[in-house]
Amino acid sequence: MSEQYACVGCGVNIQTENADEIGYAPQSALNKETIICQRCFRLKHYNEVQDVSLTDDDFLKILNELGKKDALIVKIVDIFDFNGSWLPGLHRFVGNNKILLVGNKVDLLPHSVKPNKLINWMKHEAKELGLKPEDVYLVSASRGQFIEEVISAIEEHRNGKDVYVVGCTNVGKSTFINRILKQITGEGDIITTSHFPGTTLDMIEIPLDDGKVLVDTPGIINHHQMAHYVDKKDLKVITPKKEIKPKVFQLNEGQTLFFGGLARFDYISGGRRSFVCHFSNEINIHRTKLEKATELYENHVGELLSPPRPDQLDTFPELVKHEFTVKEGKIDIVFSGLGWVTINDPGAKVAAYVPKGVHAMKRKSLI
Ligand code: GDP
């Protein structure tokens, strides 16, 4: 593009190359009299916010700005990928502002799990991670479950202040905001955008009834999420769309489970016991002997053990081993963004393998 255009809606520089990046407009939009970016276009015509993602640097600037505001911060995490979607360090930036923590996608967890138990678990984890939220909520933005409760909580805690919604990409922030939009806006062009100081980013502002606004901040890319290592088609396989059905495996020492070809779980020692696997129902779990596992992977990744796909193997990162000894009862071994294995009793030694760059960790059991 030789000439530089600015969006008449939000002022961002227009680019036509990358539909996922800020300022995107299709080439055809450049022929119009007024040029508007896709994000503003959707907002204007469909009252719908769209994902935009940003660099770490821009995100830090946004966090810094949040610290200067007198506002309520609503932090959204994906309950299925709690640790992977956590925004580390948020508490250091927000100053004295209150934070509401919202766990989205509750519809994915087994219905038998009590919401209060999950909320207590989130409170515990938040504390461990250094965040002291004012309150914690669960929601399903796509199904609308508990959305009224969250809206009331926002209303109660904001105390006449602006509200900033933050979260990393894919937590369902746009879906959440669109839900709220549906609930609180009527017809017409009531949504505005404004500029985030020090960044090229623009925020979407939804007016609240007292002249204050609810602000959608762009989502940060969390590089440790599995989502960045799989093909778009496979992302559909690894991302659960409905309630996950836990799968129980009785394993002897020296047995291995493969989750597609994306992750591996070795049971090293601790006597025969059961392991409860919480993954997308579409992920194929393959059991084998530990001693043969490495060879099986080398020979069958991309076929028997897929995703990844055969044409991705050149670029797919090697699996890296993380060992865990389970001393405490009921813990999860988490494969960030992919799922987790619950171990009910102490005394097991296990190893989790994840693509280099993806996190594996041990945590207090979620379910
Ligand atoms: P954003 O990047 O945080 O703005 O996330 P999006 O709103 O674009 O959502 C990311 C993905 O999560 C999409 O595939 C949504 O359909 C899905 N999603 C959003 N909310 C929910 C939810 O409550 N439950 C489930 N199961 N999926 C959701």
CB 51 less than 6 A from any atom of ligand 1: yes
CB 225 less than 6 A from any atom of ligand 1: no
**Per-residue pLDDT, 41:** 76
Atom of ligand 1 minimally distant from the CA of 104 = 23
CB 83 less than 6 A from any atom of ligand 1: no
Closest CA to ligand 1's atom 15: 172
pTM, to two decimals: 0.83
**Per-residue pLDDT, 9:** 65
CB 103 less than 6 A from any atom of ligand 1: no
Which ranges in the chain belong to alpha helices (H)? Answer: 38-46, 56-68, 90-93, 115-128, 147-158, 173-184, 232-238, 290-300
14: which residues sit within 8 A by CB, 6+ positions away? 1, 4, 5, 6, 7, 23, 24, 25, 29, 30, 35, 37
CB 218 less than 6 A from any atom of ligand 1: no
Q: Is 16 exposed, middle or buried (0-12, 13-18, 19+ CB in 10 A)?
A: middle
Q: Which residues of 73-89 are buried (b: 16+ CB within 10 A; e: fewer)?
A: bbbbbbbbbbbbbbbee
**Per-residue pLDDT, 243:** 96
CB 180 less than 6 A from any atom of ligand 1: no
The owner of tokens 């059905």 is 245
**Per-residue pLDDT, 48:** 61
Atom of ligand 1 minimally distant from the CA of 173 = 3
State the angle between helix axes of 173-184 and 147-158 in degrees (0 to 180), rounded to the nearest 10: 80
Closest CA to ligand 1's atom 27: 105
120: which residues sit within 8 A by CB, 6+ positions away? none
Q: Which is it for the CA torsion 150, 155, 157, 163, positive or negative? A: positive
Per-residue pLDDT of the chain (367 residues; tens, 9 = 90+): 456 787 776 667 889 998 888 788 988 888 877 788 887 777 666 656 655 555 667 777 777 888 888 999 999 999 999 988 888 778 778 888 999 999 999 999 999 899 999 999 999 999 988 899 999 999 999 999 999 999 999 999 999 999 999 988 889 888 898 888 877 765 444 566 666 666 656 677 888 888 888 888 877 777 667 877 888 788 888 999 999 999 999 999 999 999 999 999 999 999 999 999 999 999 999 999 999 999 999 999 999 999 999 988 988 899 999 999 999 889 999 999 999 999 999 999 999 999 988 889 999 999 8
**Per-residue pLDDT, 133:** 95
Structure tokens at 244: 């996950």
Q: Do the strands 339-343 and 285-289 form a parallel or antiparallel pair, or are they unpaired?
A: unpaired
Atom of ligand 1 minimally distant from the CA of 178 = 7
CB 39 less than 6 A from any atom of ligand 1: no
